[in-house]
Amino acid sequence: MTRERLRATFDTVASRYQRARPDYPAELYSDLLAMTGVAPPAHLLEVGCGPGKATRPLAELGFRITAVELGEALAAEARRGLRDFPGVSVLTSSFEAWEPPAGAQFDLLYAATAWKWVDPEVKYEKAAALLPPGGHLAVWDADHAFPAGFDPFFTEIQQVYDEMGLGDVDSWPPPRPEDQPDPHAADFARSGLFDVVGTRRYVWALHYTAEEYIALLDTFSGHIAMRAAEREQLDDEIRRRLAARPQKRLTRHWLAVLTVGRRL
């Protein structure tokens, strides 16, 4: 399935996304402000805000934010959740198609778990055009992490994916968080428009019941795109395996890598 079709799947789970996806660490926002030097009431541009997961923490600090969101349902969720912040506006559009006001410039452009879905032929050039020289582009993702001692549930369930023909990892287990490369730094440099001024890593753990974990999986594009029979089989395996555990829960680790670039 193409990037364009996969990125559109998130809108089908708009009402679940805010509840199921984890909040980003508070330290990430502190580091973001320290690395970029932006302070309220600076005007920020967010690309792919979803339901406002990374919008609200910055709105609460007093920033003005223009948020661009591809999905109509996700944008509606964001507007509802951010209605108490008059300095925040949520626009429904892809970043590629969005036409900013003439001469518009922002103090910081950022994207949380969204930058990889934007056309690589467009995103850096368009971001640079919306920032003054010395302005900053910041991107981060939240991905599954596998530190030393990670929950063995994931080795067991990977075997289920493999048996279903849905395994997508080259080797098991994946690299530890400290061995994961920065997913964006090379692209920043390759664009010729941004210098990377800093990278930070954050690892944290959350605990999930079977139903909570299934709700989380239902917000990922690959799972949304699975056939109904495949999802039912996987969900049944998750329930069965966690039901056999005394605590009835799994522990999933998360990794966020914050990359900040300065416009040349």
The pLDDT tens digits of the residues spanning 18-38 come to 999 999 999 999 999 999 999
pLDDT digits (tens, 9 = 90+) for 57-114: 999 999 999 999 999 999 999 999 999 999 999 999 999 999 999 999 999 999 999 9
Angle at 109 between CA 107 and CA 110, to 5 degrees: 135
Q: Which helix (H) or strand (E) holds 249?
A: strand 249-263
Q: Poorest-confidence range of 27-36, 215-224, 241-250?
A: 215-224
Tell me what pLDDT residue 60 has: 98
Residue 206 belongs to domain spanning: 3-263
Task: Give the pLDDT band of residue 8 (cuts 50, 70, 90).
Answer: confident
Q: Which of 234, 215, 142 is nearest to 180 (CA)?
A: 142
The one-letter amino acid at 219: T
* Structure confidence at residue 30 (pLDDT): 98
- Checking if the pLDDT of 52 tops 60, the result is yes
> Distance between CA atoms of 110 and 77, rounded to whole angstroms?
19
In this predicted structure, what is the pLDDT of residue 11? Answer: 85
Range 98-120 burial, b when 16+ CB lie within 10 A, else e: beeeeeeebbbbbbbbbbbbbee
pLDDT for residue 163: 87
- Cα–Cα distance for residue pair 59/65, rounded to 1 Å: 7
Q: Give strand ranges (E) for 101-224.
A: 108-112, 136-140, 143-145, 194-209
How many domains in the chain? 1
Contact 137, 260 (CB under 8 A): yes
Cα Rg for the chain, rounded, in angstroms?
19
Q: Which residue has the higher pLDDT, 85 or 165?
A: 85
For 217-238, what is the mean pLDDT? 92
Average pLDDT over the chain, rounded to an integer: 94
CATH number of the domain at 216, please: 3.40.50.150
Cα–Cα distance for residue pair 226/128, rounded to 1 Å: 36
The residue count for the chain: 264
Q: In the chain, what percentage of residues exceed pLDDT 90?
A: 84
pLDDT of residue 178: 95
* Residue 199 CA: distances (Å) to CA of 55, 233, 250: 20, 39, 29
pLDDT of residue 224: 86
pLDDT in tens, 151-162: 999 999 999 988
Name the pLDDT band for 1 (thresholds 50, 70, 90).
Answer: low
pLDDT of 42: 98
More confident residue, 12 or 179: 179
Q: Supply the pLDDT for residue 69.
A: 97
Going by the DSSP 8-state scheme, the letter that residue 181 receives in this structure is P
Cα(192)–Cα(173) distance, integer angstroms: 35
Alpha helices in 37-130, H assignment, sequence order: 56-59, 72-81, 123-129
- Which pLDDT value is given to residue 165? 79
Choose between 147 and 7: higher pLDDT. Answer: 147
pLDDT of residue 51 exceeding 80: yes
Mapped onto helix, strand or coil, the DSSP state of residue 211 is: helix
